[in-house]
Amino acid sequence: MKLKQLLDVIFQCGPLDYGTFQEYMLVGDKLKVAFDLIKECEEFKDVEELLLMPMPTMIHYKTKESVQAKTLLLRDEIIPELFVGKCAIYSITLSPEMYDPKKLYKPVKDGANFGPLRYDPEDFSPLQTITLTFNPKMDPNGEMISSNYHHGNNIRKQLHETLDKILDNPNDYRVKGERHILIRGEFGKNAEKFKEIK
């Protein structure tokens, strides 16, 4: 099983409650509960020893050198040199939904979609898009039309109806973003220092 699949199962009911905040994050006791399942994930198949890091920053008792958890953004690719030998994990988090601004999103329903909320970089005002897709060579019933057929009103009516549906039920038309995995901990050679601290 991949780590993303495991996290989807764990967070299927929503974010976990940490008292003062809710987050799509495994840390502390909540990480301990899922730790045996995490060890079995494909991403850690080459790891000899997977450890829990109790705090994000620790001091080595001999050298007085600080050991700090690094943050990795884990997408589909694995960084092989990091997930070998010993690894120490402080937390595993699902990122907020992210959207690629260069990606052209496909229609979600009825040839339309409600784009993600973005912010104008100049004045930071919120922006959202609605995309309506239609074929100018077809009438609303899906039949081909001749070039001399005037169908502007039919298309206009169809677009208005679709726009009304979108505004009445925006969640049905929203584009889904991608969540990636953020792992905080020590990986590869740096995890050796952590082993000595424990």
Q: What end-to-end distance do the CA atoms of the chain give, in Å?
A: 29
Average of per-residue pLDDT across 61-90: 75
Helix, strand counts (H, E) of the chain:
5, 13
Q: Is the pTM of this model over 0.75?
A: no
Residue 16 has pLDDT above 80, yes or no: no
Beta carbons within 8 Å of 94's beta carbon, 6+ residues apart: 7, 11, 24, 25, 179, 180, 181, 182
Is there a contact between 53 and 35 (Cβ–Cβ < 8 Å)?
A: no
Collapse the DSSP code of 138 into the 3-class scheme (helix H, G, I; strand E, B; otherwise coil) and give the result: strand
Q: Which residue has the higher pLDDT, 136 or 125?
A: 125
